[in-house]
């Protein structure tokens, strides 16, 4: 795939809502998509974004392009890709994850930026002034719950009570918010931790193979576009190393991991699509409140539990939104 070639996912004409108070641009509208991942891992999320753009409204035909720029795992390319979208004069930019959001903010203070960011404190990071009134050119969907990663650790210790020490898989490009929260929770629960960093896909395998299995009895995978884009890889590695693991992304358990607890990723991109629709109808990010995920899922994989020799307690199974037999 030519990395610089844009992909028009909507195939020319698409259906769009009529809004009495605003008109679509007279020229063809376009939205840039800035993502750190690869096409094979991004396509379903872009389709969910597309659904959110036209959801639940009366429609009419207009032309709109989604101009896709993917870093293919090389985060150093994001600033150049962001500038390329600005040069393409897109009407808005969808930025997935902290590095993409930082690159988009660095490239423009004018073009509206819609973020899908599960790792940042949007106010503390300076992305928005307040959640209710962002105040600049950035709004989006943020997981503004600093203790969410701590909840994942609590679920893992409830599922595997004998845990004395865990591995924490962390992408440093997402910042330290999650890491600080899980460190505090581990101290409170009396569980030791060892942090393993992963910035690239190759680092994920290196991290799992670096885990001293006799001393470390479980693992928590923190939220990151890197891990979210590779749920099959992380699930396979956790199973191969025989490590009971929970991820902040439900897809991990669906792909063979033990437990996944977190927001519905497809739903997040639909939410972002709805926010982008408002921008295309004339609203500014400064007046579009930032949103939180609207749905969370606990997924438990009993098949994997049997392979790992783990008996998931009835308390976990009763709370699970999905149990994979």
Q: What is the 3-state secondary structure (H, E, C) of 181-243?
A: HHHHHHHHHCCEEEEEECCCHHHHHHHHHHCCCCCCCEEEECCCHHHHCCHHHHHHHHHHCCC
Domains and CATH numbers, the chain: 13-144+264-287 (3.40.50.2300), 148-263+296-324 (3.40.50.2300)
pTM of the predicted structure, to 2 decimals: 0.83
51 close to 16: Cβ distance less than 8 angstroms:
no
49 close to 94: Cβ distance less than 8 angstroms:
yes
Closest CA to 40 of 227, 198, 200, 229: 229
pLDDT at 26: 54
At 302-313, the pLDDT tens digits run 999 999 999 999
Higher pLDDT, 15 or 131: 131
**Using 50, 70 and 90 to split pLDDT, how confident is the model at 42?**
confident
Structure-token match 């902040």, residue found: 248
pLDDT at 252: 95
Structure-token match 């290196």, residue found: 206
253 close to 262: Cβ distance less than 8 angstroms:
no
Closest CA to 307 of 236, 211, 227, 220: 236
Write phi, then psi, for 10 (nearest 5 degrees). Answer: -90, 0
pLDDT at 147: 76
**Using 50, 70 and 90 to split pLDDT, how confident is the model at 62?**
low
185 close to 246: Cβ distance less than 8 angstroms:
no
pLDDT at 295: 85
pLDDT at 149: 86
Write phi, then psi, for 255 (nearest 5 degrees). Answer: -90, 5
Question: Is residue 4 pLDDT above 60, yes or no?
Answer: no
- Bridge partners of residue 35, in order along the sequence: 70
Write phi, then psi, for 128 (nearest 5 degrees). Answer: -135, 155
Lowest mean per-residue pLDDT among 16-30, 68-82, 128-142, 221-235: 16-30
Burial class (CB in 10 A: 0-12, 13-18, 19+), 22: exposed
**Using 50, 70 and 90 to split pLDDT, how confident is the model at 25?**
low
| Average model confidence (pLDDT) across the chain | 88
Question: Is residue 19 pLDDT above 70, yes or no?
Answer: no
Planar angle of CA 272, 277, 283, nearest 5 degrees: 105
- CB 2: neighbour CB atoms within 10 A? 6
At 176-211, the pLDDT tens digits run 889 999 999 999 999 999 999 999 889 999 999 999
Question: Is residue 13 pLDDT above 50, yes or no?
Answer: no
- CB 305: neighbour CB atoms within 10 A? 20
pLDDT at 311: 95
Question: Is residue 48 pLDDT above 70, yes or no?
Answer: yes
Write phi, then psi, for 62 (nearest 5 degrees). Answer: -145, 165
Structure-token match 């940042």, residue found: 120
Helices (H), the chain: 39-53, 78-87, 98-107, 148-159, 177-189, 201-210, 225-228, 231-240, 251-254, 265-280, 302-308, 314-319
């Amino acid at each position: 795939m030519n990395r610089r070639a844009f992909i028009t996912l909507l195939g020319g004409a698409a259906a769009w809502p009529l809004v009495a108070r605003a008109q679509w641009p007279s020229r063809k509208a376009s939205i840039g998509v800035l993502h750190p991942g690869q096409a094979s891992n991004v396509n379903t999320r872009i389709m969910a974004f597309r659904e959110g753009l036209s959801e639940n409204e009366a429609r009419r035909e207009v032309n709109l392009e989604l101009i896709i720029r993917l870093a293919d795992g090389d985060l150093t390319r994001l600033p150049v890709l962001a500038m390329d979208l600005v040069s393409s004069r897109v009407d808005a930019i969808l930025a997935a994850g902290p590095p993409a959001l930082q690159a988009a903010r660095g490239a423009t203070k004018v073009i509206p930026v819609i973020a899908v960011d599960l790792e940042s404190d949007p106010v503390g990071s300076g992305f928005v002034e307040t959640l209710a009134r962002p105040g600049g050119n950035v709004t989006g969907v943020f997981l503004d719950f600093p203790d969410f990663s701590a909840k994942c650790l609590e679920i893992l210790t409830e599922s595997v009570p004998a845990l004395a020490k865990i591995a924490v898989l962390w992408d440093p490009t997402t910042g330290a918010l999650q890491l600080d929260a899980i460190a505090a929770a581990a101290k409170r629960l009396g569980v030791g931790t060892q942090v393993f960093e992963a910035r690239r896909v190759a680092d994920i395998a290196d991290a799992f193979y670096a885990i001293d299995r006799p001393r470390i009895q479980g693992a928590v995978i923190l939220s990151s576009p890197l891990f979210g884009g590779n749920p099959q890889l992380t699930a396979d590695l956790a199973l191969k190393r025989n490590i009971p693991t929970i991820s902040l992304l439900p897809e991990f358990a669906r792909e063979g991991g033990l437990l996944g607890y977190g927001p519905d990723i497809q739903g997040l991109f639909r939410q972002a699509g709805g926010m982008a629709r408002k921008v295309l109808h004339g609203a500014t990010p400064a007046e579009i409140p930032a949103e939180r995920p609207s749905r969370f899922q606990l997924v438990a994989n009993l098949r994997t539990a049997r392979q790992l020799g783990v008996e998931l307690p009835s308390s976990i199974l009763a709370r699970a939104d999905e149990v994979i037999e």
